[in-house]
Amino acid sequence: MKRAGIWAAAVAVLLGTVACTSSADGSGDGTGDGTRTRAAAARPLAALRSAERATREAHSARVESSTVMGKLMSLTAEGAVSWAGGLTGTLVLTYTGGSVAETMRAAGTPATEARYLPDAYYARLGAALAEQAGGRHWVRYGYDDLERLAGGTGAYIQDQLRHTAPSRPVELLLASGDVREVGRETVRGRRTTHYSGSVDSDASNVTTERVDVWVDERNLLVKKVEKGVTADGAYSQTAYYGEYGTEVAARRPAAADTADFSELVRELSGS
């Protein structure tokens, strides 16, 4: 039961990614200054609305991300996802630090393949965990299972998995209304505009304090950084997006080779 719970916590990867910021003095004594200030504040929001639309309509992209959640875990993810008609895609997750990484290495699973389908998340087990799962090499996590997994944390995981599209951080900034343009920067050879702002998370134990995004000349998200605080310590995630419109495939593992998470927990707990 303990091992199943820790493996489930490992799925708490916030998928399935900072530069210094500067701000101008927004105060003005005259009407003209106030008008210019309002116009300056409106420009980043207009740009982000274009970015949200273009990124959402691109439907798919390749993703590289790194996540740190206090002392609990750190990991990297690489692959491709589509957000057209529900989340689908495949990522390779590599556990790089924290208590979860230690547990996963001890279980012979320092890295795993994750497949996302609209109804569930599938993760490949290493040999030791597969043996505990009756020889089955995949575990299926229904999104409702994730919601029940760990109270507020499970709900947050579920939300993140269902909102993996790169337009999500842009939507957070637009909803907050607290965003400013930082400047022009080159990211992985692409000319981008950097925007930054503060947002509030709707998860009970996660406070996202800052979101930074870099948008290219086609209004597509190139990079995002989120930083905040969780019950397990400081949280940060950096992600890079590219090859928008790439073909994405995520094949459902064979049923005979798949253990359902809720059933697996009951089996390992002896109930």
Neighbouring-strand partners of residue 195: 181, 213
Q: Residue 172: name the closest of 196, 208, 199 by CA.
A: 199
Residue range 222-263, pLDDT digits in tens = 999 999 887 778 889 999 999 999 999 889 999 999 988 877
Domain ranges within the chain, ordered by starting residue: 2-17+50-164+239-269
Predicted confidence at residue 61, as pLDDT, reads 95
Q: What is d(CA 15, CA 123) in angstroms, rounded to the nearest whole number?
A: 14
Neighbouring-strand partners of residue 97: 74
**Which has the minimum average pLDDT: 1-5, 198-202, 222-226?**
1-5
Q: Residue 121: name the closest of 138, 136, 98, 105 by CA.
A: 138
Element of type H or E holding 6: helix 2-10
pLDDT of 30 higher than 90: no
Helix (H, G, I), strand (E, B) or coil at 90: strand
Structure tokens that stand for 55 in this block: 């990124």
Predicted confidence at residue 39, as pLDDT, reads 52
Residue range 82-139, pLDDT digits in tens = 988 778 899 998 989 988 888 888 878 888 898 988 888 898 988 888 887 889 999 8
pLDDT of 21 higher than 50: no
Q: What is d(CA 151, CA 58) in angstroms, rounded to the nearest whole number?
A: 33
Provide the pLDDT confidence category of residue 149 given band limits of 50, 70 and 90. low
Taking the CB of residue 200, how many other CB atoms lie within 10 A of it? 14
pTM of the model: 0.78
Q: Residue 265: name the closest of 121, 91, 146, 104 by CA.
A: 146
